[in-house]
Amino acid sequence: MTNRIFYTKPSITQLETDYATDAAATGWGARCYDYINRFERDFKTYLGSDFAIATSSCTGAMHMGLAALGVGEGDEVILADTNWVATVSPIVHLGAKPVFVDVLPDSWCIDPGEVERHITPKTKAIIATHIYGNLCDMDALLEIGKRTGIPVIEDAAEAIGSVWNGRRAGSMGAFGTFSFHGTKTLTTGEGGMFVTSDAVLHERVLTLSNHGRARGQTKQFWPDEIGFKYKMSNIQAAIGCAQIERIDELVARKREILAAYMVRLSALPGISMNPEYSGTINGAWMPTAVFHPSTGITREMMQQAFEAANIDARVFFYPLSSLSMFEDRPENVNAWSIPGRAINLPSYHDMSEADIDRVAATLLDVAAARIYHNSAALQQSA
């Protein structure tokens, strides 16, 4: 049996080990925030944002950011139906209503036209999720936000390294959030980041992130309001400091892997992968293959083939509106159609060319089998 190809794993070098060891040995007492402060500084510099707050997760960063904007009972927040549940959970926790809209068929990101169509007097925010490293149409979304006064938020959990017309994903909206889960291009094991260039919003989230204790409060252990506890540990931040030093290398390798798949699969009819349009850079977090409905190739066919080949492959996100905890079932055609004919491909940094060949060959075999099946069916019906 051939070795299993995993869909993702982190790139950890001696640098990460050294920094984490130092944090474990010395990062206590007066130095307990040293690596956290450094990680926040280096991350905001890389991103081009004015402020950054390291968090325990991207979900926590989103929760605090929405709370800081005043999202609450009776409000509505518009987001793409194609999303992981982490994006919608904070909306529900705050008592607001998520409004699921369709995605574009090529980028799989939120459709600005559908955003505009679903705005009501109750709309409090718009979340733009850069799915799998693909970029939302930020020009269109920011124009909507400017015209309506509704803040546009960037869920950039999967988009570190992605660039929209010279601006990095996560740096354009009212605030942005990032994930450093072990599957991500940059990892701290678990963890996230809240980023913004709005000084008032930053101060508000900073207070909320410290159990509601304002930075200027002189009374010890005196919270000014009920806040949150979504802090990143100093040891996690130490790993993050090493990773951000290597970020160009990490993103470049992800892009190489996506490009390698595109070359190998370019002969397949009816397949599309993560797009990169003029003026943009796709950080290529998760290479994804989507087949046209006319091919007849389904998610289940691909899952079965990959399992037989001893290869991990992730399913495309199910639409949030399909989950049992939500009652609304909007007619979001693309969000409901794409997952049934799509698959996420392995893309860890130290994949070999032979690994990439094996993954691509498995997809090519699925397509060949389907073409043979269609041909046989036509002959029988003739």
Among candidates 197, 176, 179, which has minimal Cα distance to 243?
Answer: 179
Task: Give the Cα separation of 227 and 262 in Å (integer).
Answer: 46
**Would you say residue 6 lies in a domain?**
no
* Residue 119 belongs to domain spanning: 14-243
| Given the residues 44, 184, 231, 254, the one annotated as active site | 184
Q: Is the pLDDT of residue 382 over 80?
A: no
Instruction: Look up residue 238 and give its two tokens.
Output: 């130490």
**Would you say residue 221 lies in a domain?**
yes
Q: What is the pLDDT of residue 378?
A: 43
Q: Tell me, yes or no, whether 108 and 182 share the same domain.
A: yes
Q: Is the pLDDT of residue 376 over 70?
A: no
Q: Which ranges of the chain does DSSP label H, i.e. alpha helix?
A: 14-26, 34-47, 58-68, 85-93, 112-117, 138-148, 199-209, 234-245, 247-265, 299-308, 333-337, 353-381
Strand, coil or helix: what is 63?
helix
Q: What is the pLDDT of residue 370?
A: 85
Q: Tell me, yes or no, whether 75 and 110 share the same domain.
A: yes
pTM: 0.95
Among candidates 137, 173, 163, 164, which has minimal Cα distance to 61?
Answer: 173
Among 180, 213, 243, identify where a domain stops: 243
pLDDT tens column, 86-103: 999 999 999 999 999 999
Mean pLDDT of 149-167: 98
Q: DSSP state, 182? A: T
End-to-end CA distance of the chain: 41
Are the CB atoms for 62 and 151 separated by under 8 Å? no
Q: Tell me, yes or no, whether 116 and 182 share the same domain.
A: yes
Instruction: Look up residue 96 and give its two tokens.
Output: 């607001």
pLDDT tens column, 246-292: 999 999 999 999 999 999 999 898 999 999 999 999 999 999 999 99
**Would you say residue 2 lies in a domain?**
no
Q: Tell me, yes or no, whether 223 and 88 share the same domain.
A: yes
Strand 192-196 with 271-272, pairing: unpaired
Q: Tell me, yes or no, whether 62 and 145 share the same domain.
A: yes
Q: Tell me, yes or no, whether 183 and 251 share the same domain.
A: no
Among candidates 92, 115, 86, 90, which has minimal Cα distance to 102?
Answer: 115
Among 195, 210, 243, identify where a domain stops: 243
Q: What is the pLDDT of residue 2?
A: 80
**Would you say residue 227 lies in a domain?**
yes
Q: Tell me, yes or no, whether 251 and 239 share the same domain.
A: no
pLDDT tens column, 14-57: 999 999 999 999 999 999 999 999 999 999 999 999 999 999 99
Structurally, the chain folds into a number of domains equal to 2
Distances (CA, A) of 172 to 52, 80, 135, 156: 14, 18, 12, 11
Q: Tell me, yes or no, whether 236 and 137 share the same domain.
A: yes
**Would you say residue 7 lies in a domain?**
no
Among 180, 208, 243, identify where a domain stops: 243
Q: What is the largest CA-CA distance in the chain?
A: 86
Q: Which residue is it, tokens 């190739």? A: 297
Q: What pLDDT band is residue 320 in, cutting at 50, 70 and 90?
A: very high
The dihedral formed by the CA atoms of 210, 214, 219 and 220, expressed in degrees to the nearest 10: 10
Annotated active-site residue 184? The verdict is yes
**Would you say residue 363 lies in a domain?**
yes
Instruction: Look up residue 321 and give its two tokens.
Output: 């509106």
pLDDT tens column, 194-245: 999 999 999 999 999 999 999 989 999 999 999 999 999 999 999 999 999 9
Strand 167-168 with 280-281, pairing: unpaired
Q: Tell me, yes or no, whether 173 and 236 share the same domain.
A: yes
Among candidates 1, 7, 12, which has minimal Cα distance to 356?
Answer: 7
Q: Tell me, yes or no, whether 255 and 236 share the same domain.
A: no
Q: Is the pLDDT of residue 333 over 90?
A: yes
Among candidates 153, 169, 160, 227, which has minimal Cα distance to 188?
Answer: 160
Mean pLDDT of 313-326: 96
**Would you say residue 1 lies in a domain?**
no
Q: Tell me, yes or no, whether 293 and 233 share the same domain.
A: no
| Count of Cβ atoms closer than 10 Å to residue 51 Cβ | 18
Q: Tell me, yes or no, whether 127 and 237 share the same domain.
A: yes
What is the CATH number for 42? Answer: 3.40.640.10
Q: For the chain, what percent of residues have pLDDT higher than 70? A: 97
What is the CATH number for 335? Answer: 3.90.1150.10
**Would you say residue 8 lies in a domain?**
no
What is the strand order of the sheet 175-179 is part of? 51-55, 192-196, 175-179, 152-155, 123-129, 76-80, 97-101
